[in-house]
Amino acid sequence: MTDPLTLRNYSPAPNSHHDRVVVVTGAGDGIGQAVALALARQGATVALLGRTLRKLERSYDQIVKAGGPKPALLPFDLETAGAAEYQALDEALDREFGRLDGLAHVAGILGALSPIEHYDVPTWCKVLHVNLTAPFLLTRTLLPLLRRSTDATVVFTSSGVGRRGRAYWGAYSVSKFGGEGLMQVLAHELEGTRIRANSLNPGPVRTAMRMQAFPGEDRSRLVEPAAVTPPYLFLLGPESSGINGMTFDCQQLAPPAQAG
């Protein structure tokens, strides 16, 4: 199942994620919401983590209306959360579930598209914190709960500019390079355990972040967030057991243009 084409066209059996407990960050909208809804349709209990409670409640309502397992609401600001908030989150998940079977890092911010020479320093620090340091902190905090699972998985969300740098993408590009490195280090450390770590590049998707980066783009040419959920479902489910330290594309992407 590591063939990219097969992964992109993955179609799970009904109830394939039954009894799995998965935390999804950025679950209030965009790709995070789509992943959360897809997991719930497959029987997973989803812990919806995000900054805006109103958005999380919309995801919650959609899951319940569709007959999915009752999700958990986790209002949590990755930009401002400190040690006390991370400890409280860990304790709440421990009380509610006693273990975790999956952690999907989907939340992220774009920051500014700007030359390095003129990049705003506070914006740089904010993007690196939300996109890289916060996933590290969340993973570090929740690893003991993941270790209680018989089959656990961590999925990082990557980007094409996190594999090959591109002018003006600044802190976002660097944060995604860092995320790939974090995944690889974690995967190496987890070899021989019941936890695995991998990453996915969604590619161009019709989201608010994409519109922010490409305001003049023809959005009708972009896929909806739901279209990129099959690889997430695969890597967050039991069928990906044994796949560790790998990175995949959710869409068939053209090779990057050569500079010069």
pLDDT in tens, 189-207: 999 999 999 999 999 999 9
Q: Is pLDDT of 255 > 70?
A: no
Residue 4 pLDDT: 73
Residue 253 pLDDT: 67
7 pLDDT band (50/70/90 cuts)? confident
1 pLDDT band (50/70/90 cuts)? low
Bridge-based pairing state of the strands 21-25 and 45-50: parallel
Tell me the two tokens of residue 91: 């304790």
Residue 257 pLDDT: 41
- Name, in order, each residue with C-beta under 8 angstroms of 177's C-beta and a sequence gap of 6 or more: 162, 163, 165
Cβ atoms of residues 200 and 230 within 8 Å: no
Question: Which pLDDT tens digit goes with each residue over 105-162?
Answer: 999 999 999 999 999 999 999 999 999 999 999 999 999 999 999 999 999 999 999 9
User: pTM of the full predicted structure?
Assistant: 0.94
Q: Is pLDDT of 260 > 60?
A: no
Residue 3 pLDDT: 73
Mind listing the domains of the chain with CATH numbers? 14-249 (3.40.50.720)
Q: Is pLDDT of 258 > 60?
A: no
Element (H, E) at 200: strand 195-201
Q: Is pLDDT of 54 > 70?
A: yes
Q: Tell how far CA 78 is from the center of its chain.
A: 13
What 3-state class would DSSP assign to 49?
strand
Q: Percent of the chain having pLDDT more than 90? A: 93
Q: How far is CA 2 from CA 5, 157, 234, 242, in A?
A: 9, 17, 10, 10
Q: Is pLDDT of 46 > 60?
A: yes
d(CA 170, CA 133): 16
**Amino acid letter, residue 30:** G
Q: Is pLDDT of 183 > 90?
A: yes
Catalytic: which of 86, 119, 168, 172? 172
Phi, psi of 10 (to 5 degrees): -60, 130
Q: Percent of the chain having pLDDT more than 70? A: 96
172 catalytic? Reply is yes
d(CA 95, CA 122): 37
d(CA 223, CA 226): 8
Question: Which pLDDT tens digit goes with each residue over 195-242?
Answer: 999 999 999 999 999 999 999 999 999 999 999 999 999 999 999 999
Average pLDDT in the chain: 94
Residue 254 pLDDT: 55
What's the whole-number mean pLDDT along residues 9-32?
Answer: 96
What's the helix, strand, coil split of the chain in %, to 5? 45, 15, 40
